[in-house]
Amino acid sequence: MWTLGTPALELVTRAVIIYVVFFGALRLFGKREIGQFTLFDLALVLLAANALQPAITGPDASITGGLIVVLTLFVLNRSVAFVRVRSPFVRRMLEFGPTVVGRDGAWLLPELVRQGLDLVDVEAALREHGLDAVTQMKLATLEADGSISIVATDAVEANGSMRRRRHYRRPI
């Protein structure tokens, strides 16, 4: 139960390799994967985690081995976060920039396809921002976190509920 079946250094190496490969795969799939998971995305991540577990632990089934792997993953994750905050180069490598997916009342279909979005996703984003039609959209941006930001046209902002209401105090 407590005796390692695999050398500790091998467990650490396996965990680091799988972390890098898994993170790279998530990075290649694009921003859509980082945003809200669909049921299919969740199933993929859970199945991948289950499939990768033997690759990380090898023949080791000890509690000590599991603790080494978990500690390695947490330290590695914290290290990546630390370096990402302090290095613009690493930040650019690890994070996505925003991508314009709609402009001036029209979707940019090639960009939607490239980002793995369909019209159902972007039409839902329109409704979430209080717009009824794509013609009311001035700019739509797929953000780094996978969310879609919508800027309404000036006409909608001036006439619709999307307008910010400013309250001014009357002079006394």
136-171 pLDDT per residue, tens: 999 999 887 778 899 998 866 545 544 433 333 334
87-132 pLDDT per residue, tens: 999 888 887 788 999 999 999 999 988 888 888 888 988 998 899 8
Domain ranges of the chain: 8-94, 99-159
pLDDT of residue 64: 92
**The CATH number of domain 99-159, selected from 3.40.50.10420, 3.40.50.620, 3.30.240.20, 3.40.50.300:** 3.30.240.20
Helix (H) or strand (E) holding 63: helix 63-86
Q: Which tokens is 113 given?
A: 């396809």
What are the distances in angstroms from CA 54 to CA 13, 39, 44, 84?
14, 24, 17, 29
152 touches 158 (CB < 8 A): no
pTM of the model: 0.64
38-67 pLDDT per residue, tens: 777 778 888 888 888 888 988 888 999 999
Residue 80 clears pLDDT 50, i.e. is over it: yes
